[in-house]
């Protein structure tokens, strides 16, 4: 089994999160022997390379009033051409819940919607508890969950590493359930 983290990063926060996540996953006791985790900046690597991996973790940030990060936006039309059939997919998103309270991690929700019709297995849903925002496209219809890990390094930086560590253990457990 191989895990790939594909991310787009303008200000390096999404990239730094990907790097931390790689370390957390590789040090998780549930990581199967021989399993690898690789990092892929989508500015430099085409999205079609996602097809080469069993497990995908997609990192995206929301810009301004619910807009996509520039690298994801540049490759947005490519998403539909990537065959995610049979893949396990988790998403993490970066946003600002105070400054952009009506658009918090919207890009994560848009990415989730973009792959929704693919025959992939989604994991990594994260509770909305502990966040203060008005609206988000990344929230499930019941309002209880984000479609992935929501991080706010602007207002809750002190919580990000603990959330990331907990989420990495969560997704490893979910992977183990799907691929015993």
Q: What is the pLDDT along the chain (180 residues), one digit of tens a residue?
A: 899 999 999 999 999 999 999 999 999 998 888 899 999 999 999 999 999 999 999 999 999 999 999 999 999 999 999 999 999 999 999 999 999 999 999 999 999 999 999 999 999 999 999 999 999 999 999 999 999 999 999 999 999 999 999 999 999 999 999 986
- Three-class SS state of 133: coil
* Whether the Cβ atoms of residue 14 and residue 61 lie closer than 8 Å to each other: yes
Q: Identify the CA nearest to 9 among candidates 63, 46, 56, 52.
A: 63
Task: Tell me the CATH class for 2-178.
Answer: alpha beta
HEC profile for 22-90? HHHHHCCCCCCCCCEEEEEECCCCCHHHHHHCCEEEEEEEEECCCEECHHHHHCHHHHHHCCCCCCEEE
- pTM, entire model: 0.96
Instruction: Give the start-to-end residue ranges of the domains of the chain.
Output: 2-178
């Amino acid at each position: 089994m191989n895990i790939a983290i594909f991310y787009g990063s303008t200000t390096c926060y999404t990239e730094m999160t990907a790097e931390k996540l790689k370390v957390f996953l590789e040090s998780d006791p549930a990581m199967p022997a021989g399993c690898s985790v690789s990092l892929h900046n989508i500015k430099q690597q085409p999205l079609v390379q996602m097809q080469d991996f069993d497990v995908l973790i997609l990192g995206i940030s929301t810009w301004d009033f619910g807009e996509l990060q520039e690298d994801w936006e540049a490759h947005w039309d490519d998403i539909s051409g990537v065959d995610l059939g049979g893949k396990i997919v988790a998403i993490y998103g970066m946003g600002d819940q105070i400054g952009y309270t009506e658009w918090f991690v919207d890009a994560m929700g848009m990415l989730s919607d973009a792959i929704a019709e693919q025959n992939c297995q989604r994991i990594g849903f994260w509770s909305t508890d502990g966040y203060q925002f008005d609206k988000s496209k990344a929230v499930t219809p019941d309002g209880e969950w984000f479609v992935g890990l929501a991080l706010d390094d602007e207002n809750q930086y002190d919580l990000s590493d603990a959330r990331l560590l907990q989420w990495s253990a969560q997704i490893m457990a979910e992977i183990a359930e799907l691929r015993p």
